[in-house]
Amino acid sequence: MIIVKSPRELDKMRRAGALVHEVMDDITRRVEPGVTTGELDAIAESRIREAGATPAFKGYRGFPATVCASIDQEVVHGIPGPRRLREGELLSLDLGAVVEGYYGDMAVTVPVGEVPESSRALLRAGRKALEAGIEKMHPGARLSDISHAVQQTAEGAGYAVVRDYAGHGIGREMHEAPQILNYGLPGRGPILKPGMVFAIEPMVNAGGYAVETLSDGWTVVTADGELSVHFEHTVAVTAEGHEVFTDPGRRGCR
C-alpha cells in the first residue's frame, strides 16, 4: 500500500529534503583531487547532527557511514574512507537524513576535476533520466510511467539502467512501498495521488546493466567495469504536479 502523507507530514519531509540538499551542496562543492571520501562523510555527518537531525544511512543494516561514496565503476553503496579522489574520476554521493521522524534521500554524481567528454555525456544522460522520471510525477499518472520514462531516456542516449536496484516510497521509513523500477512498460501499477512521496533514483551505466557486490558486502560495481552514475531526488505528488523536496522551491506542473 502506498501511504498518502498529510500536509503536516509533508512539511516535515520538506524540511528533511531541504537539509539533505543543503548538506549535499556543501560536500559536492568540496569534491576535488586529493580530498578523501572519509573527509566528505565526516563533514556531512557533523552538519546533519548540528541541525538536530540524524544520518539516515549510518547503522542502516550495519552501513558504517553517513554518505555512500561510489567512484567510477562503483554504482552505489560505496563506503567512504581514506582513498583520495583523483582527477578525472566520477564520484557518486548518496545522502539521507531524518528530521522529526521523516526521511529525505538524494544522490548526485559529480566529476572530480576535469573529466573526459565521454564521462560528461554519461552525467548528462543520468541527470536527464531522473528528470524524465520526475516529469511523470503528477496526479493521474501510473507508477510505471516513471519507470518507462527513465528507461527510455537512458537507453535512448545509448546507456543501460541498473535493474537490481530501484527507487522507493519514502516517509517515516527510508524505504516504503512502492518499489519504483527504472525500466518497464508505461501505464501499469497504481495511479499517483497528491501526498505520495517517492525517491526516484536511476543508476545509469556506460556499459551493460549487470552489477555485482564486492566482498565488503556493500559496494555494488558494474559487472563489466564500465562507469556508472546515480541521481536521486525525493519528490512529492501535488495537486498541480510535483514538488522536489531535495531541490527546495522546485515545483512542476503536469
Residues forming contacts to Mg ion in the complex (CB under 5 A) are 105, 199, 201
If the CB atoms of residues 68 and 239 are measured against Mg ion, the closer one turns out to be: 68
Q: Choose between 63 and 121: whose C-beta lies nearer to Mg ion.
A: 63
Tell me the three cell numbers of residue 207: 556499459
CA distance 217 to 151: 27
The C-alpha cell that represents 224 in the structure block: 563489466
Which residues does 195 contact at the CB level (< 8 Å), separation at least 6?
4, 5, 6, 10, 236, 237
| Beta carbon of residue 82, minimum distance to Mg ion (angstroms, whole number) | 26
Would you report the helix, strand and coil content of the chain in percent, each value rounded to 5? 30, 30, 40
Closest by CA position to 236, among listed 177, 192, 183: 192
Shortest distance, CB of residue 201 to Mg ion, whole angstroms?
Answer: 5
Q: How far is the CB of 105 from Mg ion (least distance, A)?
A: 4
**Cell (9 digits) for 42:** 565526516
Comparing CB distances to Mg ion, the nearer of 9 and 201 is 201
Query: Is the Cβ of residue 45 or residue 105 nearer to Mg ion in the bound state?
Result: 105
CB of 84 to Mg ion, least distance (A): 27
- DSSP SS3 for 46: helix
Least Å from the CB of residue 33 to Mg ion: 28
Rounded Cα distance between 127 and 144, Å, is: 19
Length of the chain, please? 254
Would you say 105 or 243 has its CB closer to Mg ion?
105
Please, which residue, 56 or 90, has the CB nearer to Mg ion? 56
Cα separation values, 101 from 98, 124, 163, 179, Å:
6, 34, 30, 21
Closest approach, Cβ 200 to Mg ion, in A, equals 9
Q: For residue 202, what are the CA distances in angstroms to 52, 109, 125, 128, 162?
A: 30, 11, 10, 10, 7
